Structure 1
Amino acid sequence: MAETPQLSTRTPLLSVAPHEKTRSGNGSIIRIDEVPIQRYNVCTLSVMFILVTVFCERFAFFSVLHNMVLFCTSELDFTSFQATITCWIFTGTVYMVTPLIGGYIADSLCGRYKTILGSGFIFVIGKILLFFSAGDFKNWSGYDREDVRKALFLTSVVVITIGAGGIQANIIPFGAQHISHMGPRAVQTFCHWYYWARNLGSIASSSVVYLQQETHTFCWGYLMSMLILVAGLVILRVGQRTYKHVPPSESVLKKAITMCWNMRRKERDHFEVSQFETSNVYDINNVLKILPIYGFITVYWMSYAQMSTSLFLQSAELDLSIDGVNIPPAFLIYFNPVMVVLCIPLMDIIIYPLLIRSGKSPTYVQRIGIGMFLAVLALCYAGGLEMFRKQHDHFVQEGTNISYNASNMSVFHQVPVFSLLGLSEIWTSISGLEIACTHFPDYMQGLITGLFLMTIGLGSFYSLILTAIVQSAKPDWYPNDPAANGRMEVIFFIIAGITFVFTLIFVLVTRFGYTSTKEESKSRSIGPHNNLISENA
């Protein structure tokens, strides 16, 4: 049986391409370009059902996220700061807390398919509440109750957080398990097309933004996105008989706690650790090895989180008119998913296969580092754009029930920002997902995917903390009044600087912090699931 490559705790992570080496049956190392490249048919019926569901779910989610700041400020009388904080709490929770819970439920109790369906039902309930919070209470009931609308909105946000988080933690490993037998290259292809469907849903959600902008009401846009979500769940249910189901097993977290307690007792009583507990050690050890990498990714998501908040506010203060017709402030956000949708087929079909054949395919952590650096460039550009924006003439620009003190610079000057963030997402985010889907057994993938999604949530909370500090120390920096300019360029440069410093530390840690000798590697026993790739294994 093929031996699984190992990652010692001091292995140089930047030295090996993720698919450059495999171990043959006799223990020799062969290069992937010495093996005939297989054709990966990932468009099986079951995977197609799953990808369509991903599209519908992301359509419903981004139709809430991308216009949340505008909805809060124009309909619920939030300040820009309050709306930004609400958006970041929503994003942080939906990616940080609920995916871990959803992954635990799927891995240990219900299985992924049932957990996805149940989370989808919860998501639909949240969309219904959101529809009513955006409704015209004055025409419906004869009077307007802003307190009721705010209560409905906040309740809907909580319910949507639970539903969306449960789906995200499980739908990626649920799809990957259908083609995992075809090898890591097939899983990489699935992760690419998952991301393609995800961002296509984000682009399609622009129709909701346009509808809300043109009709000056939000409820019908939310209703349309809710119907799309229901259609996605129906499609997922139709494909039930085609799916490969992995039964739930004991939670890795529970095993870790039990193992630590038992080892403490055995150490006290001088007993040997059982083979079962030795197997658990490898599972837990693999999780611990991936935590530092995911820890650095959290800083990248702090930069990425600016799209729906700080960059949105910058869009509103640029000239939104095209031939006299104003486009929605959230329109520029869609250049990010457009870039992802255009580049993923190019990366998957042309660039990565060429790199693999030439033996120069970058490692997972090299790709993550490239993405983090691109995010730094994006925010530096945003800071420079903000400085130039203030030097131009200003005029009063009418938004949805709000007047902004806008520059006469076209909003399309923001295109490079969102394009760079889209490219960075391909390198950083997809690589993080591939690690979860290729380097861990099926019964752990829900947990690991939840940990990866948790990095997105932590990035949003980092943004929240930084913004709160800035608001406390320099209240005039953040434009709470739409007529104010603020000092947004300083905020952009601060976040870019933090991301750049952590990118350098990430490169140094992954380059020099994991060194080992062949003798040390040989002295380590091989675990059943210790399958992170290393050079010295």
Structure 2
Amino acid sequence: MEDDDVYTKDGTIDHRGNPANKKETGTWKACPFILGNEFCERLAYYGMSSNLVTYFKERLGQHSSTAANNTLNWSGTCYITPLIGAFLADSYLGRYWTIAIFSTIYVTGMTFLTLTASVPGLKPTCHGNDGCHATDSQKAAFILALYTIALGTGGIKPCVSSYGADQFDDADEVEKKHKASFFNWFYLSINVGALIASSVLVWVQENVSWGLGFGIPAATMAVAIVSFFSGTRLYRNQKPGGSPLIRIAQVVVAAMRKRWVEVPADKALLYEVADAESVIKGSRKLDHTQDFRFFDKAAVEIQTDHIKDSVNPWMLCTVTQVEELKAIIRLLPIWATGIMFSAVYSQMGSLFVLQGLTMDRRLAPSSFKIPSASLSIFDTISVIIWVPIYDRIIVPVARKFTGHKNGITQLQRMGIGLFISIFAMLSAGVVELVRLRIVRRHNYYELDSIPMSIFWQVPQYFLIGCAEVFTFIGQLEFFYEQAPDATRSLCSALSLTTVALGNYLSSLLVTIVTKVSTRHGKRGWIPDNLNYGHLHYFFWLLAILSVINLGAFLVISKWYKYKRSMGTLR
């Protein structure tokens, strides 16, 4: 009984490899170091990425659509590489060492990026009103630095949120309740970093120098590493469970080999080890579920399975191993509906910025010009406002009506965010429609910026921030909670790939729309001079697709069954 009170029951260990002591490790005392790391890393990321489309266009001399697509493609890659880091974390390295190694790669990329924007010979040559010129080698160096950073993010993004959640014991009801709050405050730390980046650093880039504007994020990333290592003694660590891809393949192969076998009606007849722990290191056993019964064939014992002393995992798998695959399959439809939301979210770093560049950016009555990319500060402010409101007001009030420990389910939370995102696109479309009417009424076609305040964009940024609090945070918690223990980094990475695919989807839509709308010599929806375009059509297209996506999400949510774990780990 004393051990029950002293050590965690979810299989976590301390930095020495011993069972984690509940009083000495984890919970909120370990979280400041993780949240500090995330704050600094996000400040570095957004400080470099928020204004990237402007660098592509003004320093590398790219067209509007090309700059937008390059920004979207790079941002998308930053959310694909987490699959690499997640695989290594779950299989071999564990989350601690994965974060440590990939952070080093990240800093290297940030340092190189700073050099490409500040060192003569590496940075583009600029001549006042004649603009800037970049050689092919300078462009290549800049792209190499960007994609080194993209690789570095691959070990951080899928692991930090999961690593923070690991600090709370799933088997302890008090700690589990705090875990839900952790995801809210984790996302808040992201946005505080983004707030500083999109205001101060974007201004530095446009008014002081790009070298300093990239150098500060590089230094901040170094601080992030120091913050992370400072908490080493307090962390709880999950043991890596071996390759989840091999375990999934074993279930599929075993089920195919036994496709002629009947699955018994009594689930107790399916194969499972008698030990308290499952055969998957660091994972609790999972209860049997009735759907996807074909894969249950992998857990049906037949006479040939016992010819040898040891069980062949390519012929016979445990119920837990089968349920691990089922859990991932159930996540995929929910995952797919996140792609459209991410396409909407990606507009903040691309077309919203280009839209803002055509508007009056002066801060009256002064002549100070607000960088267009800095308007994302209102998205961040929205998140900072809504996170404590959600955590301290909405959840307690909803809990009284629903009886659910989190007030509303994770799927309900995500659905609300998808609904709000529709209005963000409608708002952006209305602003563009009003802007174009002013252009036509006063013949402002050739003006770089028209006399319409950039602050008209505030509602669209604010609505996306509100939608983030519901969808992205709900998604973070949902994929962590519903993932089997030994695949949590992988499933977190899977949720992040929706951002990547959302960027790629947006890029694809821009390409298709540009190709179709420029037929027969027309300027198209998104020309270099947006005063001649129809950008509002594109925003309304995203709104229509978001409505269809919300409908699909509601259907899928009704079908989804939540994961059930059995027992504890010691």
CA deviations 1:343-363 (Å, max 9, x no partner) are 111211222022112326332
User: Aligned pair 1:218/2:210, yes or no?
Assistant: yes
Within 2, Cα distance between the matches of 1:239 and 1:450?
A: 24
Within 2, Cα distance between the matches of 1:42 and 1:328?
A: 41
Within 2, Cα distance between the matches of 1:164 and 1:404?
A: 39
Q: Which moved more, 1:317-326 or 1:52-61?
A: 317-326
C-alpha contact 2:48 2:213 (8 A) present in aligned 1: no
Aligned equivalent of 1:451, options 482, 491, 494: 494
Structure 1 residues 84 and 140, CA, compared in 2 at 3 Å: closer, same or farther? closer
Aligned equivalent of 1:244, options 236, 240, 250: 236
| Alignment match, 1:346 | 389
TM-superposed deviation, 1:140? 8.8
Within 2, Cα distance between the matches of 1:180 and 1:467?
A: 45
User: Aligned pair 1:321/2:310, yes or no?
Assistant: no
Aligned ranges 1:129-168 → 2 under 5 Å: 129-135=112-118, 137=120, 146-168=135-157
TM-superposed deviation, 1:504? 1.8
Within 1, Cα distance between the matches of 2:513 and 2:564?
A: 48
Within 2, Cα distance between the matches of 1:142 and 1:470?
A: 33
Aligned equivalent of 2:332, options 291, 294, 298: 291
The TM-score with structure 2 as length reference comes to 0.78
Aligned equivalent of 1:195, options 187, 208, 212: 187
User: Aligned pair 1:442/2:485, yes or no?
Assistant: yes
TM-superposed deviation, 1:107? 0.5
Larger Rg: 2
Structure 1 residues 186 and 147, CA, compared in 2 at 3 Å: closer, same or farther? same
Tell me the secondary structure at the aligned position of residue 185 of structure 2: helix
Aligned ranges 1:272-283 → 2 under 5 Å: 272=302, 276-283=317-324
Structure 1 residues 404 and 457, CA, compared in 2 at 3 Å: closer, same or farther? farther
Tell me the secondary structure at the aligned position of residue 506 of structure 1: helix
Within 2, Cα distance between the matches of 1:499 and 1:408?
A: 31
Aligned equivalent of 2:418, options 372, 387, 396: 372
| Alignment match, 1:400 | none
Within 2, Cα distance between the matches of 1:431 and 1:126?
A: 31
Q: Which moved more, 1:189-198 or 1:342-351?
A: 342-351
C-alpha contact 1:405 1:483 (8 A) present in aligned 2: no
| Alignment match, 2:427 | 381
TM-superposed deviation, 1:221? 1.0
TM-superposed deviation, 1:145? 5.7
User: Aligned pair 1:390/2:436, yes or no?
Assistant: yes
Within 2, Cα distance between the matches of 1:197 and 1:344?
A: 10
| Alignment match, 2:73 | 89
* Greater RCO, 1 or 2 (C-alpha within 8 Å, sep 6+): 1
Aligned equivalent of 2:378, options 335, 347, 361: 335
TM-superposed deviation, 1:64? 1.8
C-alpha contact 2:26 2:234 (8 A) present in aligned 1: no
Amino acid at match of 2:339: T
| Alignment match, 2:409 | 363
C-alpha contact 1:187 1:437 (8 A) present in aligned 2: no
Amino acid at match of 2:28: T
Within 1, Cα distance between the matches of 2:352 and 2:241?
A: 43
TM-superposed deviation, 1:99? 1.0
Within 1, Cα distance between the matches of 2:424 and 2:203?
A: 26
| Alignment match, 1:54 | 38
Tell me the secondary structure at the aligned position of residue 390 of structure 2: helix
| Alignment match, 1:468 | 511
Within 1, Cα distance between the matches of 2:125 and 2:35?
A: 44
TM-superposed deviation, 1:474? 1.1
Aligned equivalent of 1:109, options 88, 92, 108: 92
Tell me the secondary structure at the aligned position of residue 85 of structure 2: helix
Gaps of 5+ in 2: 1-24, 127-132, 263-300, 306-310
Aligned equivalent of 2:343, options 262, 284, 302: 302
Within 2, Cα distance between the matches of 1:198 and 1:135?
A: 27
TM-superposed deviation, 1:135? 1.9
Within 2, Cα distance between the matches of 1:140 and 1:99?
A: 29
TM-superposed deviation, 1:148? 2.4
How large is the RMSD of aligned CA atoms in angstroms? 2.7
> What percentage of residue pairs aligned between the two structures are identical?
27
TM-superposed deviation, 1:471? 1.2
TM-superposed deviation, 1:410? 0.5
Within 2, Cα distance between the matches of 1:239 and 1:363?
A: 32
| Alignment match, 2:110 | 127
CA deviations 1:250-286 (Å, max 9, x no partner) are 2222101122223333447996387743221111111
Q: How many residues are paired up? A: 474
C-alpha contact 2:61 2:134 (8 A) present in aligned 1: no
Amino acid at match of 1:223: G
C-alpha contact 2:115 2:122 (8 A) present in aligned 1: no
Tell me the secondary structure at the aligned position of residue 167 of structure 2: coil
Amino acid at match of 1:168: K
Amino acid at match of 1:456: V
Within 2, Cα distance between the matches of 1:453 and 1:141?
A: 33
Amino acid at match of 2:477: E
